[in-house]
Structure 1
Amino acid sequence: MSVKLICLSHTPLIEFASPPKGIRDTTMKVIHDLAQQVDEYDPDLIITFGPDHFNGFFYDMMPAACVGIRAEAAGDWNYGPGTINTDEETALSLTQSLLNDGLGIACSYQMQADHGVTQPLTFLTGSLIKYPTVPIFINCAAKPLPPMRFATQLGKAVGRYIKTSNLKNKRVLILGTGGLSHDPPTPQMQGANTDTEAFLIAGKNPTADSRNARQNHVVVAAQELNQTESSSLKINAEWDRALMEKYQQADFDYLNAMTDSEISSMGGRGGHEVRCWTAAFAALAEISEYTIQDVYYQQINEWLVGFGAITAKTVC
């Protein structure tokens, strides 16, 4: 049985801001090398664990997690629009398996996946349709959030499914995306004005002007990050590197004990996306022991992210 894992940060600012050339070139080479690994591995299926940034999921019905039976790109940050090549049969079977395991998970025939999923898929495979994919959304932005142990339980249940279903004879790539520390100006329901509250509840399919204005807030936040008046939490490289060590050590006791307040204070609003990395590693660990292959980290203020990547594979 062959299962490969890639956990990779995403940042929509790659095409909108310029870090020092050496940092950009090194980071883009890492992404290019990961894409080559995916091409050589040639997966039969990709299972993604990804967040959303109020582009596809809203408070009108906010699940803790959702499996995309069918999915399309939300179109934010110029990723999409377009249909994601979902494996409907596997997605349905996986959803039933997760429900049988007692997990409160939703499914969607009309998922809109934002750049948290579409950017990594595009970077690593060249498109949204090259490989059959099952996208799994985890709520990392809309309070109340599922606890970290939920991400671990979800990942383990996905790992059990991979191990015991007909996927055991397939090449499966588990892709976790998000994090690490970053603090974008993601709106919150608490204290929101009337217009913001209306958007957070039912803001799907915004006008181009509305989307561009919102995305410009993120660009400005990145530009201000090195300034003393920045409203964003600084990137926390120490926290990021320590967290990456925990994934390499499969220390799920530590990960499960992390609280929302700790993550917010150490990793910022976007730091909660480490739930997706946690689920991905938990899935791999449930299949078998794993070996780490590649580790990369770079603090990139211009991209408003502590940018990390880890690859691993099962030992069986």
Structure 2
Amino acid sequence: MKSQLSFPKSGASMSMMVCASHAPLMYCHARPPAEHEQVEASFASLQEQIVAFDPELVFVFGPDHYTSLFRRLAPPFTVAASCEAVDDIGGHPGRLKVPTDLAVECVSYLAQHGIDAAISYDFKVDHGISQTLHRITGAIGRYPTIPVIVNTMTPPLPPFFRSRLLGTTIGAFARGLNRRVLFLGSGGLSHNPKVIFPDFGAADAGVTSWQQQGPANTTMSSEAWYARLTDIHHEAAAALAAGGITAEDCRFNGEFDHKVIDILTSGKFSEMDLWDNPSIVESAGIGAVEVHAWLAACAAQVAAGGNLPVCDLYAQTLEYGIAVGILHA
């Protein structure tokens, strides 16, 4: 049965939205890409706009990289009612300022409108959430923030139409709050860090046990997992600068990236409804499915009464290992 969303006719809140790529190699590259200064300037400009907007609430949609979601439990969508960012490479550690009661109210609203999201009162996020939140707002604890995590690592991944409905429903919820709201979408575009996050069972026993159980496993410690991430990112940075990792290895796919940007900036979100996650992974890399977060953020922005986004930047930045995109509205 289709949910019947109610969109308040009065008291609608103002909203802004930013969707942006994240990558640890933006911080630890061995050589900056030609677009490095343009990327940095875009983030700095958006941060100035957000500070001037002074949001009263932030919803940040993004992925988890085996920090809280593992094969033992990986809900399609999780809302964090209390949250701390870990100190992973490319991330910004610390406690997020989560308004717990409002997060609980949001999860209840989602359930009443046909979206069953998990809730966590002790969630740990990594750079997939903290990097974009920090770069856009200036600090992860600056504004009241509700993290919404989309499972993009452990199959089966959520269908795209569900991510669209998730965003639409959160946007309707936000519109009724009569607050200045910022929606952030973190992740994408095409990239393929499979050497860092291999298919389950394809790596050594320590990595496999971490993917299965996280810090509860008895084979790999948390310290060893995060040290591995640091080491492998620095190795990748050197290989990218030296030509040992190519654009083909990164699965850069301009056709896919531009299709995402065109759909989101035109507001034709339902055109992504039947997109197939495995096909996207095959053609644009395991990181490309992070655009679920972009879709949710854009759908939320429009449902909250905001404008459609425009594209600020697109570049296939080999030294970052990712095709970078930035949208804002």
* TM over 0.5, shorter chain: yes
Q: SS at the partner of 2:40?
A: helix
Structure 2 segments unaligned to the other structure (5+ residues): 1-12
Q: Name the residue aligned to 2:192.
A: 183
Taking a change above 3 Å as real, the CA distance of residues 190 and 285 of structure 1, as seen in their structure-2 partners, is farther
Supply the distance in 1 between the matched residues of 2:153 and 2:249 (Cα, whole angstroms). 15
Taking a change above 3 Å as real, the CA distance of residues 100 and 147 of structure 1, as seen in their structure-2 partners, is same
Structure 1 segments unaligned to the other structure (5+ residues): none
Task: Note the alpha carbon deviations across 1:26-71, whole angstroms, 9 max, x for none.
Answer: 1101111111111111000000101011122212211111001000
Q: Name the residue aligned to 1:157.
A: 169
Supply the distance in 2 between the matched residues of 1:229 and 1:182 (Cα, whole angstroms). 11
Q: Name the residue aligned to 1:279.
A: 296
1:287, distance to aligned residue in structure 2 (A): 2.7
User: Number of residue pairs matched?
Assistant: 309
Structure in which a larger fraction of residues adopt helix:
1
Q: SS at the partner of 2:74?
A: coil
Q: Name the residue aligned to 2:4.
A: none
Task: Note the alpha carbon deviations across 1:226-275, whole angstroms, 9 max, x for none.
Answer: 44789934322332122111110112232112101221122200001000
CA RMSD, 1 decimal: 2.1
Supply the distance in 2 between the matched residues of 1:248 and 1:202 (Cα, whole angstroms). 39
Within the candidate set 193, 206, 214, 1:195 is matched to: 206
Supply the distance in 2 between the matched residues of 1:201 and 1:109 (Cα, whole angstroms). 21
Q: Name the residue aligned to 1:118.
A: 130
Q: Are 1:305 and 2:322 counterparts?
A: yes
Q: SS at the partner of 2:255?
A: helix
1:129, distance to aligned residue in structure 2 (A): 1.1
Q: SS at the partner of 1:269?
A: coil
Within the candidate set 126, 145, 149, 1:133 is matched to: 145
Q: Name the residue aligned to 2:232.
A: 217
Within the candidate set 65, 90, 95, 2:102 is matched to: 90
Task: Note the alpha carbon deviations across 1:106-154, whole angstroms, 9 max, x for none.
Answer: 0001010110111111112221211000000000111111111111111
Between 118-127 and 195-204, the greater mean CA deviation after superposition: 195-204
Letter in 2 for 1:297: Y
Q: Among all aligned residue pairs of Structure 1 and Structure 2, give the percentage whose two residues are the same amino acid.
A: 28
Contact 1:66 1:137 in 2 (8 A): yes
Between 291-300 and 178-187, the greater mean CA deviation after superposition: 291-300
**TM-score normalised per structure 2:** 0.87
Taking a change above 3 Å as real, the CA distance of residues 98 and 260 of structure 1, as seen in their structure-2 partners, is same
Letter in 1 for 2:209: A
Taking a change above 3 Å as real, the CA distance of residues 257 and 78 of structure 1, as seen in their structure-2 partners, is closer
Supply the distance in 2 between the matched residues of 1:21 and 1:207 (Cα, whole angstroms). 32
